[in-house]
Structure 1
Amino acid sequence: MASAGVAEPQPGREARRAGRRWLRDLARPVRGRVVATVLCGAAGGLAVIAQALLIAHLVAAVAVDGAGPAALWQPMLLLVLVFLWRALCGWGSERLGIRTALAVKARLRREIRAHMAGLGPVRLRRHHSGGLASLLIEQVEALDGYFARYLPQTALAVLVPLAILATAFSVDWVVGLLFLVTGPLVPLFMALIGMGAEVLNERQFTALSRMSSHFLDRLRGLSTIRMFGRGAAEVAAIHEVAEDYRRGTMRLLRIAFLSSGVLEFFTAVSIGLVALYIGLNLLGMLDFGGTQQTLFTGLFLLLLAPEYFAPLRQLASHYHDRAAALGAAEGIRGFLQEPLPEAGGEAAPPGPPALLLRGVRLDYAGADEAEGETRTALAGADLQVAPGEHVALVGPSGGGKSSILALLAGFVAPTAGELRLGGCPAAALDLADWHGRIAWLGQQAHVLHGSLAENIALGDARPDPERLQVAARSAGVLDFARDLPQGLDTVVGENGLGLSGGQAQRVALARALYRPADLYLLDEPTARLDAATEARVLAVLRTAAAGRTLVVATHSPAVAAMADRVIPVAGGRCGAAIAADGTQGAGG
């Protein structure tokens, strides 16, 4: 992402324009809430005119007419009611604005989570989990001020000053002209100074995402870092990254204070000009067009002067909310625009599915996707699996076994070639229905924070206790769960904290066995298991997968022996033409 100054190349300006359009699109579903916020604020703004009128009347009545308390109680009561009305409108406008921002953020977070689910686990590998967490939390949260305060204030900064301007012209055209000339200076300088703040905010959100990813990487690899004596160096590196972020934040604050100082200066000069004119007019030293001020009109206009600039000053104070939102919009919009796999609506026929790969090529985006860098995982893979057949994919690591399983699961679409799942073209398949018919075990056994029972019955809102016990017993989970304080109800930490690698593998396998499925896709299902446990698990797996289609990627001879057919996979190709050692056969 470009991060130059104001004289930035065209793509940077185009990106910011696109960000502004995207923010406006986000506001459309909550337009009614925004209008209600503006109307509430405008009602409070109109109360300002009534407030100034009553105060000027009371002072003039006492100072000029010598009115007593009996003649003042009615305007005093009205003034109290105006104060209360203005406070109520301010409270209502703030509350409506906050609710608007909450609605936008909740909807946007749902869209981001849905987009993550649509991309699937394979495509999400291109995004660092720390960056995704920053996107979902900090960057979405940065939109709060834009929708809660800035967006309604843009309308109030026009409506309220226009009402005061019309009032001023009706009383004294000179004061109205002073308002008309000096008022636009505030938004003008606000925009000029805010241009630099937008660019700096974009840089800060990029830096925050990178800092989150950097810190999470070091946190996950803490044991390795300590074992290799890199602890002090990594602490220093994290300190330097945090210091860079702090310096960027201070640059933003300098711009914010500069903008506030400039705006306050022009506001004070404008109000001073109005006060000078009114004072000289009251002294009889100025007379434009025969307009002669009285104490009532002079005080009334003088009280309106700061209120005329107040909405503009508030807009300026919220301008950093706009800059922060535009900075966050770049990352969020870019993520949401990442294309999803084509989703069809056709459900595969019931029963064990047939699977077909014919001349399939699969490319993954490389480290620099913008430069078109890709990595070829499969190059012309051919595989045909009959309904109910058990197939084992064997071969060296990196040969493409896991990529074939990802294709069969519908996590990725082939770059080229034909892929049919359950007799249907993969591009026309209902993926939600397809995923509901798969029992999946990935290469990395992931255990969520929660009880063992919740992990095994993941995705089942009403778990079947008997089926859960059978799955736990079959996968060998009960062997170690009996020694835990609460058995299967024992809570484990994030990433299976409290379990060994083999125990986490058994929990993941029990999860696959618990799920009723037509297709089993297993990636190294017996990794980290001892020989005795592996033999018992394979016997259970053979029974569970009977009459169902099974595709397993493995390095284990025992697992391969369980299959009806063994398919060698190497160099991104698979089939009988590939020898088990990964070399190309004569028929290739």
Structure 2
Amino acid sequence: MTPEEKAAGKALSRLQRHGAQTLWLAMAAPLLGGALLVWQAWELASLLGRAIEGGEAPQALLPGIGLVLALLLTRAGLSALGEWLGSIGAEAIKLKLRELLFTGLLARSPRRGDAASSGAATAAIVDQVEAIDAYYARYLPAAAQAALLPLAFGAVILPLDWVAGVLFIVTAPLIPVFMALVGWGAQRASDSQAQALTRLSGRFGDRLRGLLTLKLFGRADAETDAIVAASDALRQRTLRVLRIAFLSSAVLEFFAALGVAGVALYLGLTFIEFLNLRGSPLTLHVAVFLLLMAPEVYNPLRLLASHYHDRAAAKAALVEIERQLGALPDATEPLEDLAPRSGPAIAVAFENLTLRTPDRQKIVLHDVNLDIPAGRHVALLGPSGEGKTTLLETIAALRPHEGRIRLDTEPLADWSPAALRARTFLLTQKPRLIHATIADNIALARPDASRSEIEQAAELAFVTPFADALADGLDTMISEDGIGLSGGQAQRVALARVFLRDAGLILLDEPTAHLDPALEGQIIDNIIEYARGRTLIVSTHSAAVAAKLDKAWRIAGETLLPVAIPAKKKGAA
């Protein structure tokens, strides 16, 4: 077993605690059903013995028949209850794991070089997490039955007939032994299938997002053929997993049938007095009971074998999740709280700060020192490509840097992702809009915002004037990336998010790039008023916007140069 598989097994055990109560009940239900099975088989064998050997009247057998039927229905109910509880426990575990993975994905920087593509991340959180369902819902209850019921059945059978008991003891262990041998191959095939599924999902998701570009460059047909080829490769790997699963089923069926046939042959030879290995005569009651119990001794092992590949699939899924999203989160730790939190203004300080472009080929800033007091409103000026966006993203811990950045005298590296996301707000140059209503897109900044707060934010960002002209107002649906809105309207929807966040540090990257001068001035005035008492850093090309702020610096020659602002525009926020 590889270290990755051992880690996956430990992770499965840690996750189990999130559905432990229902899973314990799911495992207990079939065990109770097994106890009732022994009672049912004994009563049914007794009925046959009384009817055939004792010659009792049918009327005298009616209470026993009723008891057998009641036991049969009770066992069926326990089986259904166990499956239901197993599904509930598995759903709780999957929900917890998805919350952990998604929270971890939100907490880390999307600019990381080892970040998974959106398609691969989606496949890991949706498809691979789904693959662990059968492990908790079916494999664990089957493992509990296989571990306890054959021993319990053997303890009941051995005092009645030692030969039958020995046959069970000899043949039953062969099933898990050969099942484990087959399982090694199933694990490798499941790993290969999980990787193929992730690659296909990632490729499909990324190609779907870039469909317009592929059409423009005439690559749509070629990518379609590549997707078909990848799908066929996944089909072959899936069939390979199923082939191994069917092989394991054939192995266990062979040994189970061999054991049942051996017991039947022994009983038949004993009845015709060809064998005489018992100390007392064999009654029909005991013989029928042994025949009824013979397949049931192997049935828990057969059930385990049929679900054994679920364990391999779950381990392979966790290994693939770790491969795509990094180390699995500790399921025993509480979720990081990424919700926005109120707090005082945050001071920003650069100490010998050096920044490079993402490709590391060009220096943006070299050995820069700067203090931005808490509550100050400042502008960053400079032509496109000079590094304004890189600097803002570095302050938000989305880009690597050399030197030191301090937020409130604390090094940026010492801020936890949760605290940084909760206390700061970054509006990028190309903010993301999703397929949802205008109101829902605004509320992405603070999902618990009330309707009145959303409407107020829309008014401050001048979303209300154009939204009121739409049939559903703020409840109008827009498509992915704001399709259905103009560039200026989409920008205002994104800007409205600023007014829902009580952030101590607000970072805006070209917030008015698509707005006309009159609207630009009004929205900037609203932002400045709202940001009173908060630190505000705005990257902009507009001298008019910079003139409204307290300070301005221009990025030029790998350094920050102060820009003079007319005296009438000065004043702390």
Instruction: State the partner residue of 2:216.
Output: 227
Corresponding position of 1:487: 473
Kindly state the Cα deviation for residue 532 of structure 1 after the two structures are TM-superposed: 5.2
The normalised TM-score by structure 2 is: 0.86
Quote the residue 1:584 is aligned against: none
Letter in 2 for 1:325: A
CA offset digits 1:16-61 (Å, max 9, x no partner): 1111111112123433333322222111011221222122222222
Does 2:411 align with 1:425?
yes
SS of equivalent to 2:374: coil
SS class of match (2:108): helix
- Aligned partner of 2:570 in structure 1 is none
How far, CA to CA, are the matches of 1:555 and 1:364 in structure 2? Answer: 19
Which residue in 2 is equivalent to 1:384? 371
2:66 aligned partner: 77
| CA positional deviation for 1:312 | 0.5
| Structure 2 SS opposite 1:299 | helix
SS of residue matched to 2:202: helix
Question: Which residue is equivalent to 1:405?
Answer: 392
Change in Cα spacing, 1:306 to 1:512, as seen in structure 2 (3 Å) is same
Q: Percent of pairs identical after alignment?
A: 41
Give, in whole Å, the separation in 1 of the partners of 2:25 and 2:344: 55
Q: Distance in 2 between the 1:181 and 1:245 partners?
A: 40
- Report the TM-score, using the length of structure 1 for normalisation: 0.84
The answer to whether the 8 A contact 2:200-2:230 is kept is: yes
Taking the aligned partners of 1:364 and 1:82, their CA distance within structure 2 comes to 74
Given that 1:400 and 1:570 are in contact with CA atoms closer than 8 Å, whether structure 2 keeps it comes out as no
Alignment correspondent of 2:236: 247
CA drift of 1:310 comes to 0.5
Change beyond 3 A, Cα 1:336–1:102? farther
CA distance in 1, matches of 2:415, 2:380: 24
Hey, what does 2:276 align to over in structure 1?
Answer: 287
Match of 1:393 in 2: 380
CA distance, structure 1, for counterparts of residue 405 and residue 40 of structure 2:
74
User: What does 1:458-473 align with in structure 2 at a 5 Å threshold?
Assistant: 458-459=445-446, 461-463=448-450, 465=452, 471-473=457-459
Aligned length: 555
Deviation of residue 522 (structure 1)? 0.6
TM-superposed CA distance for 1:326, in Å, is 0.7
Call closer, same or farther: CA 1:93–1:527 in 2, change over 3 Å. Answer: same
2:76 aligns to what SS in structure 1?
helix
Residue 415 of structure 1 and its aligned partner are, at CA, apart by 6.0
Moved more, 274-283 or 521-530: 521-530
Counterparts of 2:357 and 2:116, CA distance in 1: 13
* 1:459-515 deviations in Å (ceiling 9; x for gaps): 1634474x7566545544345334322333322233323123332112112222454
Partner Cα separation in structure 1 for residue 193 and residue 355 of structure 2: 36
- SS in structure 2 at match of 1:197: helix
Q: Answer whether contact 2:20 2:89 (CA < 8 A) is retained.
A: no
Would you say the 8 A contact 1:445–1:508 is kept in 2?
yes
Give 1:317's match in structure 2, choosing from 306, 325, 332: 306
Q: Tell me the residue number matched to 2:245.
A: 256
Q: For residues 38-187 of structure 1, what are the structure 2 equivalents within 5 Å? A: 38-123=27-112, 126-187=115-176
Q: Which residue of 1 aligns with 2:485?
A: 499
Q: Secondary structure at the match of 1:126?
A: coil
**Contact (CA 8 Å) 1:172, 1:291: kept in 2 or not?**
no
Superposed CA offset, 1:277-310 (max 9, x none)? 1111111111236464332222211111100000
What whole-Å deviation, never above 9, does each CA across 1:251-289 have from its counterpart, x for those lacking one? 111111121122211211121111111111111111236
Matched, 1:528 2:521: no
Deviates more, 1:331-340 or 1:379-388: 331-340
How far the C-alpha of 1:156 sits from its partner, in A, is: 0.9
Distance 1:49 1:570, change over 3 A: farther
> Unpaired runs of 5+ in structure 1?
1-11, 367-372, 578-588
Per-residue deviation, residues 136-192 of structure 1 (Å, max 9, x unmatched): 221111111111111121111121111111122111111111100100111111111
Write the deviation string for residues 39-96 of structure 1: whole angstroms up to 9, x where unpaired: 2211101122122212222222222222211331232122122212211221222122
User: What letter corresponds to residue 83 of structure 2 in structure 1?
Assistant: E
Alignment of 1:228-377 (within 5 A): 228-288=217-277, 290=279, 292-333=281-322, 335=325, 337=327, 351-360=344-353
Give the counterpart of 2:204 among 211, 215, 227. Answer: 215
Which secondary structure state, in structure 2, belongs to the residue aligned with residue 203 of structure 1?
helix
More displaced stretch, 348-357 vs 175-184? 348-357
Out of 189, 205, 222, the residue aligned to residue 200 of structure 1 is 189
Report the residue type matching 1:495 in the other structure: D
Q: What displacement does 1:119 show?
A: 1.8
TM-aligned CA distance change 1:481 to 1:35, over 3 Å: closer
Query: Partner residue of 1:8?
Result: none
Code of the residue aligned with 1:353 in structure 2: it is: I
Classify the secondary structure of the residue corresponding to 1:359.
strand
CA RMSD of aligned residues (A): 3.5
What is the rounded CA distance, in whole Å, between the counterparts of 1:402 and 1:161 in structure 2? 67
Unmatched runs of 5 consecutive residues or more in structure 2: 331-335, 563-573
| CA distance 1:360–1:553, change in 2 (3 Å) | same
2:29 and 2:361 mapped to 1: Cα distance?
54
CA distance in 2, matches of 1:431, 1:320: 38
When structure 1 is superposed on structure 2, of 327-336 and 129-138 the one drifting more is 327-336
User: For residues 428 and 100 of structure 1, do their structure 2 counterparts lie closer, same or farther at Cα, with a shift above 3 Å needed?
Assistant: same
CA distance in 2, matches of 1:25, 1:349: 34
Q: Output the amino acid matched with 1:175.
A: A
3-state SS in 2 of match to 1:445 = coil
Q: Could you tell me how far apart the structure 2 residues matched to 1:219 and 1:283 are?
A: 73
CA pair 482-67 structure 1, distance change in 2 beyond 3 A: closer
User: More displaced, 497-506 or 514-523?
Assistant: 514-523
Q: 1:56 to 1:384 in 2, by over 3 A?
A: same
Using the TM superposition, name which of 191-200 and 125-134 deviates more. 125-134
Mean CA deviation greater in 395-404 or 31-40: 395-404
Task: Determine whether 1:551 maps to 2:537.
Answer: yes
The secondary structure found in structure 1 opposite 2:2 is helix
